[in-house]
Structure 1
Amino acid sequence: MDSLITAAARALAAGDPLGALNRVALRDDAPALALRGIAMAQLGDLVLAKTLLRRAARSFSPKEAVARARCIVAEAEIALASRDLGWPAKALDAARATLEQHGDRLNGAHARHLEVRRLLLIGRLDEAERKLSELDPAPFPPALRTVHELVVAGIAMRRLQTKAARAALALAEVAARRAGIPALAAEVESASLLLRTTAARLIARGEERPLLLEEVEALQASNVLVVDACRHVVRDPGMAISLATRPVLFALARTLAEAWPGDASRDMLVARAFGAKQADESHRARLRVEIGRLRMLLQDLARLNATKRGFVLSPSRASEIVVLARPVEERHAGVLAFVADGESWSSSALALALGTSQRSVQRALDALAATGKVQSFGQGRARRWITPPMPGFTTTLLLPPPVPSE
């Protein structure tokens, strides 16, 4: 490798893309194309970066497997940054295996982190945690160690483990300072901010107040029955019942919890669960059926008794009943949460992350755009959606919950 390529690579490692471009901007050989692609990615021109990296991968000879693998990893990182979640995970896995087989452990670890970050983004926490546990961060240089600790913190925050998240962010801050890369330091600060902003709302006895993430964690461990509207779960310290696939039953449970210690009227329950403005006999009959189903599901957590005007929920073991609600109640909150991370999203990537159809996501985006909450740029398949991060609260609890291992 010649001196200009070496100097450009060192500049990129130090977070100086302009310095790298000064050395290789006029060159079209494969190593220079790869470095130019990474530099353009650091400068934010992801489309040109992807084009340059693909040209570089084609320009390397078949014998240069490591160089080709590095280009694939770099392209995967660009795909993640541009929220193109449909990029082939198998290609990244093959590139990682190639790097590890040829002794390039650091770039192999970087590829593993990209896999984990994608899994974290789409809510597959168990798989992300398993893959991350296969890495030993001790020999990592400061920049890679920063990325590792940010991923650890991200998983911990999604699992409501704020102590572990703070510890990981403290390590990330130290590593970012040692790396001397401003963009990394800014990413650590942004992640730390999530612990200092509103994560949810507590609704109890007719009043509500905002909660930080660590307060949400403390609430989950306290002796209360929590109807969790963030994850659609009813839980006390002993057990949890998921109603994620039973929206009518969850609406009933939430209405009863908000009315506690009083009862909820039948008209209110019908309105909240079925969307009827006025209850008729068919609604009341259906309400009796759904209340019976809810009573069976929650029998180990609470008693559900009839009153003269409706029904009342009484905890079996807990001292009181509260509702944990999202910081902002929004019909399309899942879509809004992803778009509000400040990155540009395609409707196909959102559909993949949310586990729903692209048509449903497009309808949600159109509805949000009509109210000015999101905006788009580009046309056709290049169309992307974005909105500034919502001020004052974290979107952690707006994102899809972990798949039920919890």
Structure 2
Amino acid sequence: MDLLIAAAARALASGDPLAALNRVALRDDPPALALRGIAMAQLGDLGRATALLRRAARGFGPGQPIARARCAVAEAEIAFVSRDLAWPEAALEAARATLEARGDQSNAAHARTLQARRQLLVGRIGEAERTLAGLDPASLPAASRAACELVAAGIALRRIDTKAARVALDRAGIAAREARIPALVAEVEAAARALDTPSARLIAGGRERPLLLEDVENLLASEALIIDACRHGIRAGDVTLSLATRPVLFALARALAEAWPADAARRTLLQRAFGARHVDESHRARLRVEIGRLRAALGNLAKITATKNGFALKLHHQRAVVVLAPPVENRHAGLLALLADGEAWSSSALAIALGASSRTVQRALDTLARAGKVQSFGRARSRRWTVPSVPGFPTVLLLPGPLPSD
């Protein structure tokens, strides 16, 4: 490696892309093209960066597999940052395997961290944990160690394990400051703010109050019967019931919980579950059927008894009944939670992350755009979506992922 290439590489490692470009901007050999691509990525010109990395990979040829693998990892990172979730995972896995087999453990670790970050983003928490388990953060350079700890903190946040998240974020902060990369330090600080921002509302006895994520963790560890409007499930102790695919039953359960210990009027239940404005006998019959289904779903968690005015929850044990709700109620809360990371998303990437069809996501984006809650730029395949600002909008409890007991 010549002196200019080495100096440019050191500048990029320290987060100074302009210094790197000053050394290799006029060169077109493959190492210079690769460094120029990484520099352009750090400056935010992701399209140009991808083109340069692909030129570099072609220039290295099959006789330089390590250099080609490094280009593939850099391109995968650009795809992740630009939320191009359709970028082939197999290419990153192949690059990581090549780097590990040929002894480039530092870049192999970076590739593994990148894999875990992508898996975490789309809610594959177990896979992210297994991917990260193959790394020893203590053996990594400071920047890679910070990235690894950030992923560990993200997994802990999705699992609602605040103690583990704080420990991982503390380690990430130490590593980021050691690396002396301002953008990395800022990323760690932004992640840490999730622990000090209200993540949910507690609704009980006709009152509500905000909860930090640590408060949510304590609530989930209690004996209360929790109607979780963030994950659309019901929890009591170690028992978790998901109603994510049964919205009518969940709406009834939430209405009954908000009225507890009193009963919920039939008209209220019909409005909440079916949106009925004018109640007739067919609505009442349907309500009886759905209440029967909810009784069966609840099993031993609680009973539902009929009253003169409607229905009421009756618990087998001396438990409280509470509703855990997002701080901001919105039909498309999960979509807004993904956009709240500040990155520019394509509709196809949002569909992959949410596990929904592209058409469903596009309709939701159009609705939110008309309401002024999201904005787009670009056209056709290059169109990207961002959120202008969602004050106090949390992401942890609304992002794709399992219930804490899963």
Task: Give yes or no for TM over 0.5.
Answer: yes
> 2:336 matched to which residue of 1?
336
Write out the 4+ residue segments of structure 1 that deviate beyond 6 Å after TM superposition.
Answer: none
Matched, 1:243 2:251: no
In structure 1, C-alpha distance between the alignment counterparts of 2:328 and 2:344, rounded to whole Å:
21
> 1:367 matched to which residue of 2?
367
User: Helix, strand or coil: the match of 2:160?
Assistant: coil
> 1:27 matched to which residue of 2?
27
Aligned ranges 1:169-318 → 2 under 5 Å: 169-318=169-318
> 1:96 matched to which residue of 2?
96
Contact kept in structure 2, 1:341 and 1:389, CA below 8 Å: no
Structure 1 residue 405 displacement after superposition: 6.5
Contact kept in structure 2, 1:205 and 1:261, CA below 8 Å: yes
Structure 1 residue 238 displacement after superposition: 3.1
Decide whether aligned partners of structure 1 residues 388 and 318 sit closer, same or farther in structure 2, where only a CA change above 3 A counts.
farther
Larger mean CA deviation between 294-303 and 389-398 belongs to: 389-398
Contact kept in structure 2, 1:271 and 1:277, CA below 8 Å: yes
In structure 2, C-alpha distance between the alignment counterparts of 1:405 and 1:135, rounded to whole Å:
25
Contact kept in structure 1, 2:374 and 2:387, CA below 8 Å: yes
Matched, 1:16 2:13: no
Contact kept in structure 1, 2:56 and 2:71, CA below 8 Å: yes
Contact kept in structure 1, 2:375 and 2:388, CA below 8 Å: no
Decide whether aligned partners of structure 1 residues 144 and 82 sit closer, same or farther in structure 2, where only a CA change above 3 A counts.
same
Query: How many pairs does the alignment contain?
Result: 406
In structure 2, C-alpha distance between the alignment counterparts of 1:157 and 1:389, rounded to whole Å:
22
Code of the residue aligned with 1:304 in structure 2: it is I
Contact kept in structure 2, 1:271 and 1:278, CA below 8 Å: no
Structure 1 residue 404 displacement after superposition: 8.9
In structure 2, C-alpha distance between the alignment counterparts of 1:119 and 1:327, rounded to whole Å:
26
User: Helix, strand or coil: the match of 2:397?
Assistant: helix
Contact kept in structure 1, 2:337 and 2:393, CA below 8 Å: no
User: Residues 46-75 of structure 1, C-alpha deviation per residue, up to 9 Å, x if partnerless?
Assistant: 111111111111111211000000000000
> 1:398 matched to which residue of 2?
398
User: Helix, strand or coil: the match of 1:301?
Assistant: coil
Contact kept in structure 1, 2:125 and 2:401, CA below 8 Å: no
Code of the residue aligned with 2:384 in structure 1: it is R
Structure 1 residue 318 displacement after superposition: 4.8
> 1:7 matched to which residue of 2?
7
Structure 1 stretches lacking a partner, 5+ long: none
Structure 1 residue 237 displacement after superposition: 1.2
Larger mean CA deviation between 313-322 and 15-24 belongs to: 313-322
> 2:326 matched to which residue of 1?
326
Matched, 1:145 2:145: yes
Structure 1 residue 136 displacement after superposition: 1.3
Structure 1 residue 336 displacement after superposition: 1.3
Code of the residue aligned with 2:287 in structure 1: it is L
User: Residues 97-147 of structure 1, C-alpha deviation per residue, up to 9 Å, x if partnerless?
Assistant: 000011001111111111111110111111111111111112011111000
Structure 2 stretches lacking a partner, 5+ long: none
Structure 1 residue 392 displacement after superposition: 2.3
Code of the residue aligned with 1:60 in structure 2: it is F
In structure 2, C-alpha distance between the alignment counterparts of 1:388 and 1:132, rounded to whole Å:
33
Code of the residue aligned with 2:48 in structure 1: it is L
In structure 2, C-alpha distance between the alignment counterparts of 1:317 and 1:137, rounded to whole Å:
46
Code of the residue aligned with 1:268 in structure 2: it is T
Q: What is the alpha-carbon root mean square deviation over aligned residues?
A: 1.2
> 1:350 matched to which residue of 2?
350
Structure 1 residue 400 displacement after superposition: 2.2
Contact kept in structure 1, 2:238 and 2:405, CA below 8 Å: no
Structure 1 residue 389 displacement after superposition: 4.7
Contact kept in structure 2, 1:8 and 1:20, CA below 8 Å: yes
In structure 2, C-alpha distance between the alignment counterparts of 1:318 and 1:146, rounded to whole Å:
45
Structure 1 residue 334 displacement after superposition: 1.4
